[in-house]
Amino acid sequence: MIRKTLLAVFLFVALIPAGAESLVARLEKIPSVQTVYISPKMFRLMGVNQKDSLLTETCIDRLHSMDIIVADEPSTITALTKETLTYIQQNDYEEVDRHQNDGENTVTYYKKLSPNAVYILCTESSTEYVVSVIQGNLSKEELKGFMNSLPVEER
């Protein structure tokens, strides 16, 4: 019985594709990137669910996680950009929006439908590249409102 169980576990693990590694896990391996994980409870602590925000408490309840990966050195920006775009192409993400903020930053939204929607936002400027991976059941408009309501500190 134990042999059959071990064999079943081994076969299951062997069938997992080598490229199944998450984007965040891949990007964290790049030297000099900075990463942050934010849970829904942390969003509430930050006061994101203000009444004038497009993101209501109901939307926060539908968020599962958010990871932010930042590169601000030229070689790291290049590596982060390349790895992110490769992952997006290999995993059938669809570009759903692209726009410029303040005439300086270009923000590109990618989305993949799974049991929960997964968004990848790539924010590109001349001095840094930021990848945000958001998992949850939000519409693109709710996500945009949420991203606009986040308290951002200028460096």
Tens of pLDDT, residues 108-141: 999 987 767 899 999 999 899 999 999 888 877 7
Lowest mean pLDDT among 51-60, 82-91, 94-103, 142-151: 51-60
145 part of a folded domain: yes
4 part of a folded domain: no
CA–CA separation, 138 and 24 (whole Å): 20
- The reported pLDDT for the residue numbered 4 is 37
57 part of a folded domain: yes
Count of domains forming the chain: 1
Show the domain range for 123: 18-149
CA–CA separation, 53 and 146 (whole Å): 7
User: How many beta carbons lie within 10 A of that of residue 23, not counting itself?
Assistant: 20
- In the predicted structure, residue 22 carries a pLDDT above the cut 60: yes
CA–CA separation, 144 and 133 (whole Å): 13
6 part of a folded domain: no
12 part of a folded domain: no
Please name the helix (run of DSSP H) or strand (run of DSSP E) that holds residue 9, with its range, or none.
Answer: helix 2-15
> Amino acid letter at 133?
V
The tokens describing 97, both together, are 């929006």
Q: What is the pLDDT averaged over residues 14-24? A: 56
65 part of a folded domain: yes
φ/ψ of residue 46, rounded to 5: -75, -10
Tens of pLDDT, residues 63-117: 888 999 999 999 999 999 999 999 999 998 999 989 887 778 899 999 987 767 8
- The reported pLDDT for the residue numbered 122 is 95
70 part of a folded domain: yes
CA–CA separation, 17 and 100 (whole Å): 36
CA–CA separation, 93 and 133 (whole Å): 12
Q: What is the CATH number of the domain that holds 135?
A: 3.30.2030
- Name the DSSP class of 33: -
Please name the helix (run of DSSP H) or strand (run of DSSP E) that holds residue 68, with its range, or none.
Answer: strand 63-71
What confidence tier does 12 reach under pLDDT thresholds 50, 70, 90? very low
5 part of a folded domain: no
